[in-house]
Amino acid sequence: VNLPDLVRLSRLMAAASLVAALANATLLLHPGPGGIIAARIVTGAALAGVYPPALKLVATWFTRDRGLALGAVIGALTVGSALPHLFRAVSTVL
């Protein structure tokens, strides 16, 4: 929908983050399978409004070492996505 070109990136990312957080919070109200699937779909769609704009911001901020900066952002997103799975695996072992 080309939102990053139409809306300020900081506002787009803030709104998308808020939608993702609210979708995750609905899991407290609707913990059944239907609610979980719906929340995951909405969260995934909302995070599509966070990740690409973050990369666009980083690409415009860094003129030198742009590849390193983009790699750091992608690495942080990957670690952030993987940490809940690590915490769950560790908590079930203990």
pLDDT tens digits for range 16-64: 999 999 999 998 888 888 889 999 999 999 988 888 888 988 998 998 9
Higher pLDDT, 3 or 38: 38
Q: Which amino acid is at 92?
A: T
Confidence of residue 2 (pLDDT cuts 50, 70, 90): confident
What pLDDT is attached to residue 46? 92
Q: pLDDT category, 68, cuts 50, 70, 90?
A: very high
| pLDDT bracket for residue 65 (50, 70, 90) | very high
SS3 content of the chain, % helix, strand, coil (to 5): 85, 0, 15
CB 49 within 8 A of CB 13: yes
Number of neighbouring beta carbons within 10 Å of residue 71:
12
